[in-house]
Structure 1
Amino acid sequence: MPVKKRSIKSDLTKLDAHEITDAEYDDAPELTEEMLDRAEIRHGDTVIKRGRPPLAQPKEAIKLRIDQDILAAYRKTGSGWQTRINADLRKAAKKLAG
């Protein structure tokens, strides 16, 4: 569950207008990878989320027992074999539906 951020109650216009002096640069901490990993990317007031956008119809992980020879045949087809199984199951479901 996302944590609601507290208001900083600051005059951001005044803060944006401030020009940083050399002495202030010396006081600033070095940026670490950990700090950058926690950083938010923003476009104006909108937070840009990292990663893939959510799918309209997300797939569901299940446990399915398949005969070894069938699984071996799909795996031999190379990368994307799980997607091909899904496509074949979709075709079969359409035939069942009529």
Structure 2
Amino acid sequence: MSELKKMYKTIMDDHFPETMTITFGDQKLIYKKRTWKIEERPGEVIEKGLRYGENPGQEAALYELIDGNLRLGSCQFICGGKGLVSAITEADMI
């Protein structure tokens, strides 16, 4: 049972890019990978992204819109810096 707990607790490295740019015609959206500072052992702080995707052992990343705004017709979506889940800080998790 302890091996199963360890699988779910382990924070993996990932191979996703730090930034991602998506272009829709002349509109450009720029995203930054979210990371958090986590105390891995007493006195040892690491900075990593998500622990895992849907299952342990599966890499995952969460990106935050930092620049740009997608406008389709008269509909304007969330602007950079006004994230929802991607805006959660370490203080919000405590």
Which interval holds the TM-score relative to the shorter structure? under 0.3
TM-score by length of 1: 0.17
Higher RCO, 1 or 2 (CA under 8 Å, sep at least 6)? 2
Higher helix share: 1
Higher strand share: 2
Greater Rg, structure 1 or structure 2? 1
